[in-house]
Structure 1
Amino acid sequence: MTVMDKPQGASALAGIGLMLAAVFTFSFGDALGKYIVATYSVGQLLWLRACAAFLILAPMIWRQRAVFTALERPWLQLARIVFSTAEVGMFFLSAVYLPLADIITCYLAAPIFVTAASAIFLGEQVGWRRWTAVGVGFCGVLIALQPSSQSIGWPSLIALAGSLSFSVLMVITRMLRATPDVVLAASQFAGTFTVGAVLAPVAWVTPSLPDLGLFLVAGVISVSALFCLNRSLKLAPASIVVPYQYTMIIWAVIFGYVVFGDIPSAATLVGAAIIVGAGFYIFLREQAMGRQADGLTPPPV
């Protein structure tokens, strides 16, 4: 039995697990990227990060090179590259001016956008319970992060535009779920490679050997995160897995305390508890719906 042949409930739970892994990996990569753009330009980060990613992807691209010649819905593939490149660029551009927590606040509006878009464009069934859980999770984000006064202005508009681009990217990825994983990842890095190659020479700073290592790590992280994210959206409806992006705040608290010694405030802990509760509710409900679909439990009266 292949992954795509698994019962709906099992596929949804696997998709949730991969989304959680993607969020963790992206959170680490975002923090690393913000550290890098304090010294290097966004264009240089995009280009060197993409170069490192292609070093990792090269063997897979070579082995599966035949699949690149017959892609489904090429115009939609191109639109996905555009939105992916725009999202990454806007995220790191906003990171130059905003605290990471404020950027994450803007990006965590994405589950709202995707839940709405998945109902409109993908025909996914989104009931009031899931809408409620998504809304409660977003309230938890606002309580936990308490966006600073810096979040008002054009940098926050860039971050919000990045969030919208990320939402469109996830919806399109779900629509192109028949496309091989290596194609989805390679096409995204092709976009950032091209834009980075144009922008990097404008403010080029020759990186030291240790910093080249950071760019390599950034490439490894981004490849891992994209594979987890793209596979997640293949296995489960976007409206189910995307709300788990709220767990970014959990990792922000953990990384902040362990790495930087930041002690979370009471509001952060309360907000994080609300987020975990909302996500856990969606998980339990999807698990119950999966058991019903598999015929293991009777439907509710």
Structure 2
Amino acid sequence: MSLFAKISPDNDARSARLAGIGLMLLSVFMFSFGDALGKFLVATYSVGQLLCLRGCAALVVLSPAIWRSRRKFARIERPCLQLFRVTLSALEVAAFFLATVYLPLADVVTCYLACPIFVTALSAVVLREHVGWRRWSAILVGFLGVLIALRPSAQTVSLPALIALGGSLSFSVLMLVTRSLRTTPDLVMATSQFVGTCALGAVMAPFGWVTPGAGSLVLFAAAGCISASALLCVNRSLKLAPASVVAPYQYSMIIWAMMFGRIVFGDVPSGNTIVGAAVIIGAGIYIFLRECDLGRGETVVNPPA
């Protein structure tokens, strides 16, 4: 009987879910580590250099998979909307790293935690999707969390804070566009995102160019490899386990952001940031579970590629 239990479908499903959760946690850690590495690099080099060199390294890592699936790239649906999505992706990644030049990593990540809330609100306004009073209540609570974290003051309306908030909103629109392109293969979407950030970086890089040494080039390459590997882990995680199981674990990114911010940069998260992040996470998880109850799982937020 014990042998039968080891090979039962239920046991296999449980193992797959545990593997999916593990891969999601690993991907969030890698994304957070890559974000901290990017913040470290933009203290010396321009954001354009980071986007360009990081994107090139990611494409090198993905190149074997791209070659094997090259036929999928010849049949891209709705090219104009795809181009709009790539543009949004490149701009929000640039905004993320530009904001980290001036703000603690935890503050910037907190803004991005609100993406499921923004996506749900924009879905009601832009896509005319029905949003009931329960989710509207969660949206309002989530916005309250954003206000708590941003501490409304003169500092809140500073350019870096607005850049972080703008990046978060851009990422939310990106998620809405991705809904409309859900039949596009994951590899095609990921590759196009890295191509877009690489192209934007190539345009921005000449402004404020600082010639990197061999050690810095290794760090740039590491940032790209980490980002590409993390993206592959996210995709694999979502294939092994339902999104409703693994998606809430993405909120662990705030823990890593606070830890890396404290250890690497000496940033101590304020009480407002911690409380605001907790409120945002609670509202986001409620919205996600509500989406699952309604048979929609589209507000999953993958960390920025």
Are 2:109 and 2:257, in contact at CA under 8 Å, matched by a contact in 1? no
Q: Report what 1:131 is aligned to.
A: 136
- Tell me whether 1:60 sits opposite 2:65 in the alignment: yes
- AA aligned to 2:72 is V
- Tell me whether 1:43 sits opposite 2:48 in the alignment: yes
Separation of aligned partners in 1, 2:272 and 2:206: 44
Separation of aligned partners in 2, 1:268 and 1:286: 26
Q: TM-score, normalised by structure 2?
A: 0.72
Are 1:111 and 1:134, in contact at CA under 8 Å, matched by a contact in 2? no
Cα distance change, pair 110–46 in 1 and its aligned pair in 2 (3 A): same
Are 1:184 and 1:230, in contact at CA under 8 Å, matched by a contact in 2? no
What per-residue deviation string (whole Å, max 9, x for no partner) do you get for residues 7-49 of structure 1?
A: xxx9xx99x9687766554333222211111111111111100
**Count of matched residue pairs:** 277
SS in 1 for 2:206: helix
- Tell me whether 1:98 sits opposite 2:103 in the alignment: yes
Separation of aligned partners in 2, 1:277 and 1:177: 27
Aligned-pair CA distance for 1:271: 4.0
Separation of aligned partners in 2, 1:95 and 1:171: 25
1:205 to 187, 210, 226: 210
- AA aligned to 1:110 is C
Structure 1 unaligned blocks of 5 or more: 1-9, 291-301
What per-residue deviation string (whole Å, max 9, x for no partner) do you get for residues 41-99 of structure 1?
A: 11111110011001101001100000000111111111111111111222222333333
Cα distance change, pair 117–72 in 1 and its aligned pair in 2 (3 A): same
Task: State which drifts further: 102-111 or 86-95.
Answer: 102-111
Aligned-pair CA distance for 1:248: 4.1
Separation of aligned partners in 1, 2:272 and 2:102: 24
Cα distance change, pair 281–275 in 1 and its aligned pair in 2 (3 A): same
Cα distance change, pair 33–278 in 1 and its aligned pair in 2 (3 A): same
Aligned-pair CA distance for 1:193: 1.6
Are 2:117 and 2:283, in contact at CA under 8 Å, matched by a contact in 1? no
Separation of aligned partners in 2, 1:170 and 1:231: 19
Aligned-pair CA distance for 1:143: 3.4
- AA aligned to 1:66 is R
- Tell me whether 1:118 sits opposite 2:123 in the alignment: yes
SS in 1 for 2:210: coil
Task: State which drifts further: 247-256 or 110-119.
Answer: 247-256
Separation of aligned partners in 2, 1:266 and 1:147: 14
Task: State which drifts further: 253-262 or 91-100.
Answer: 253-262
Structure 2 unaligned blocks of 5 or more: 1-13, 296-305
How many percent identity over aligned positions?
64
Q: Report what 2:33 is aligned to.
A: 28
Separation of aligned partners in 1, 2:84 and 2:126: 15
- AA aligned to 2:121 is A
Task: State which drifts further: 251-260 or 87-96.
Answer: 251-260
Q: Report what 1:3 is aligned to.
A: none
Alignment of 1:91-240 (within 5 A): 91-120=96-125, 125-144=130-149, 146=151, 149-227=154-232
Separation of aligned partners in 1, 2:137 and 2:106: 24
Give the root-mean-square deviation of aligned CA atoms: 3.9
